[in-house]
Amino acid sequence: KQEVTQIPAALSVPEGENLVLNCSFTDSAIYNLQWFRQDPGKGLTSLLLIQSSQREQTSGRLNASLDKSSGRSTLYIAASQPGDSATYLCAAKTGANNLFFGTGTRLTVIP
């Protein structure tokens, strides 16, 4: 069964800093990997999707990379802002339907 782990569990950085969030998965036979943002008590907002054949995807200040062979993905956030404060979840899709989620990294950007 796919296990997804995210490190660190929580991260606090000053505004303007660049940061990296890590995600690892045990089964490298994934279809894709998706990064989400979750604000407290809210739903999941999709940030980036990386297909298994891709190495990275970029959207604005966000860049996600994927290394299937080592079972790792990273989410890079450039020039962090207080509005980036949220929990970031990665989810690996194995099989046709099922997303396996990590427990998330809770990010706090200090003004």
Q: Please report whether residue 40 would count as binding another protein according to CB under 8 A.
A: no
Q: Please report whether residue 86 would count as binding another protein according to CB under 8 A.
A: no
Q: Please report whether residue 64 would count as binding another protein according to CB under 8 A.
A: no
The whole-angstrom separation of Cα 22 and Cα 76 is 9
Under the phi-then-psi rule, with left for phi > 0, alpha for psi from -120 to 50, and beta for the rest, what region is 16?
Answer: left
Q: Looking at 40, 43, 60, 83, which residue binds another protein (CB under 8 A)? A: 43
Q: Looking at 91, 92, 107, 109, which residue binds another protein (CB under 8 A)? A: 91
Which residues from 92-111 bind another protein, rule CB under 8 A?
93, 95-103
